Homo-oligomer: A and B are copies of this chain.
Amino acid sequence: MDQLSQTFQALADPTRRAMLAQLSLGEASVSDLAKPFLKEMSLPAVTKHLKVLEKAGLITKTKDAQFRPCKIKADGLDNVSEWMEEIRKHWEDSFDRLDAYLKTVTAKEKQKAKGKKNGRKK
């Protein structure tokens, strides 16, 4: 799976998004991150979610032997932003083209109407 697909795939889960939202506030240990979810899922399930986020380049686990805190990666969402930006640019360009087209059509229609009016006057 390509990197961007992997990032989108990692974000396609509310638990993983909640973990990322918590990590955006500052680094946290695995057990801190697990706390809100331990009623619904096991610790191995939490660890699995964290691994998906790590593999997608969205978080890193630091090597601090005792606590191994997780940290959000500064550039983890850059590829998503870039892709969104590209789509938006395309889109705006196509609106600009539509706008230019409509302006040409309107100008032509106006000219036609003017021509008819002048024709009637003659």
Q: Which residues of A contact B (CB under 8 A)?
A: 2, 4-6, 8-9, 11-14, 17, 20-21, 24-26, 72, 77, 80-81, 83-84, 86-88, 90-91, 93-94, 98
Contacts and interface: CB of A to CB of B under 8 A. Distances in A.
Total copies of the chain: 2
Contacts of A83: 17
A43 B34 CA distance: 44
Contacts of A88: 24, 77
Contact of A4 (B17, B72, B86, B87): B17
A87 B86 CA distance: 20
A86 B2 contact: no
Given A8-B8, A8-B11, A13-B5, A24 B84 contact: no
